[in-house]
Amino acid sequence: MELRKNKLIPLKEIAEIRFGIKTGANEFFYLTKEEIKGLGIEREFWMHPVTADRWYRIGSLIPKEDVWVDKGGEYFKRSQYFKMYDVKDLSVNGDVIWIPNYVMKSPKEGRSIIVDPKGLENIVLLIHKDVRELEGTNVLKYIREGERKDIHRRPTLASRRNWYELNEVRGDILCMMSVHDRHIFWLNEADVFIDARLYGISLKPRYRDIKELVLAVLNSTLTFLFVELNGRLNLGLGALDVKVYEYSNMLIVDPMLLKPYKDRIYKILSIMANREIGSVFEEIGAYSPDALESLSSLEKVKSDRRELDKIIMGEILGLTDEEQLEVYRAVIDLVKSRIDKARSVRREKKRKAENNFDRLLETILNDIKKFYESEIMRLKRFPEDYIKDISSYNIIEIPKSFDIKAYYDLFGNAYVQIGDKKIKCKSLNEAKYVAKYIEFAVIAGKSRIIIPTDLNKTIEIVEKHAKLVEEIEAKIEEYLKQIIVDKKIRDNIKSRVMKSIGMK
């Protein structure tokens, strides 16, 4: 497919791409409104003033309940923002408007092509004052609590002059660091802040007045193809990782070429802005390249997307319908291939891990049976080793499937119930010991259990055997710590070993 290269330019010619905010401690810096209210954090650290020009542009996007009017700008004059703005630039009928520091953390929060503050759950704390300026504030108490938890010692935070001070990162348009099966670029009309999982695209002055046309170019299926060709496969979940420089060097259709079509473009964007953008499979209407068999397949593409692609690929670049169909096929093929490849790799890794785990378990089990043979035999000889000199006892036949419980009845009598059998005890505490006695015997493989009639003797036996179990478990834990570093794997191995040797 030949493209007219003079109509394509690198994204870096029209914009600068930046990483989102790297907090180093999201749980500290990203809070909900409810959490902020509970902590009593001062307004200037979770809200910011907006210039009059910006307010007239974005005011309709901000929920009314989130807007705070600072009468006469009195609060602003005492805030951390006083040195950053001229109050004349902020004045809206003599007042200063404040809005929350909305932050977009995840691509999932951006359903349509326009960022909606109503869909953002978190607010980012922006603290631009030194500690001495924060004396007597609730935010300083919050900072001290963070230090008590050693948050300030984390590598990313320890390198800052003030560990709690973040850089502010926004962007005229936002994009993803990692793309799965959903391609989308967002217009950040509300100027929300962004997390490190996203990139901010800040347009150069010449293109700032046509940002909607830039948005249209970036959300075309042709751009999705270029993203796929520029990124690199992450075999974890099949995501496509795209670095800042890869986005910067990526070719796009020059947005200036869309000016003659702006009325049609705006109409298309207004439709796309009012719906959720789905996966490429949903947008194109196909789950495999083969599903796009003929030109009639173009009818399966979402109608607004198809109209956008007709303008960009057809009218501007001059691609035939057949060539446009090839673009759709290529996008579907690239996305499907990387997801399928990642699944295949994960299956192979899982198979190898399971094989390795089984071999490790077998080796450890053999070692433990050899090292602790005498202790394991004592476990299996419960309760015989403890009742050799007992002449008075009861015998209970245990069914193959049963529940055991110790309880009080309605009259305050204590019982142990095994299936449909009941043993009366003097107290609930005694009943619990009898239940444990039976449990130990069942674990040892007994179905016909001898229980002393003297309940004090039963309690004594249970306590002795519980101590033996505890000692063996401690030995196994110590042994496993020497050969397995990963606690999750170690606990899994330990659980299976204990079950195998009759400890649970």
* Tokens at 353, concatenated: 């891990």
445: left (phi over 0), alpha (psi -120 to 50) or beta: left
pLDDT-above-90 percentage for the chain: 62
Q: What is the pLDDT of residues 53-97, one digit of tens each?
A: 999 999 999 999 999 999 999 999 999 999 999 989 999 999 999
303-330 pLDDT per residue, tens: 999 999 999 999 999 999 999 999 999 9
357 exposure class (CB count in 10 Å sphere: 0-12, 13-18, 19+): middle
Which pLDDT does position 296 carry in this prediction?
78
Is the predicted pLDDT of residue 399 greater than 90, yes or no? Answer: no
Q: Report which DSSP code applies to 210.
A: T
* SS3 of residue 139 by DSSP: helix
Between 254 and 343, the higher pLDDT residue: 254
Sign for the CA dihedral angle at 448, 452, 455, 458 comes to negative
CA dist 469 → 293, 429, 438, 477 (Å) = 67, 20, 15, 12
pLDDT of residue 390: 85
**Coil, helix or strand at residue 186:** strand
Q: Is residue 348 predicted with pLDDT exceeding 80?
A: no
Q: State the amino acid at position 401 in one-letter form.
A: S
Mean pLDDT (whole number) for 102-114:
96
Residue 488 has pLDDT above 90, yes or no: no
Give exposure, 444-464, as e/b (b: 16+ Cβ within 10 Å).
bebeebebbeebebbbebbee
Q: At residue 484, what is the residue type? A: I
50-64, 120-134, 281-295: least confidently modelled range: 281-295
Name the average pLDDT for the chain.
91
pLDDT at 1: 45
Q: How confident is the model at residue 288 (pLDDT cuts 50, 70, 90)?
A: confident
User: In this model, does residue 383 exceed pLDDT 80?
Assistant: yes
Using pLDDT thresholds of 50, 70 and 90, give the confidence band for residue 447.
confident
**Helices 428-443 and 455-483, axial angle in degrees (round to 10):** 50
Residue 350 has what pLDDT?
65
Per DSSP, the three-state class of 18 is strand
* Residue ranges of E strands in 101-222: 102-104, 122-124, 173-176, 178-179, 186-187, 193-194, 198-203
Confidence at residue 481, expressed as pLDDT on a 0 to 100 scale: 84
Stated pTM of the model: 0.70
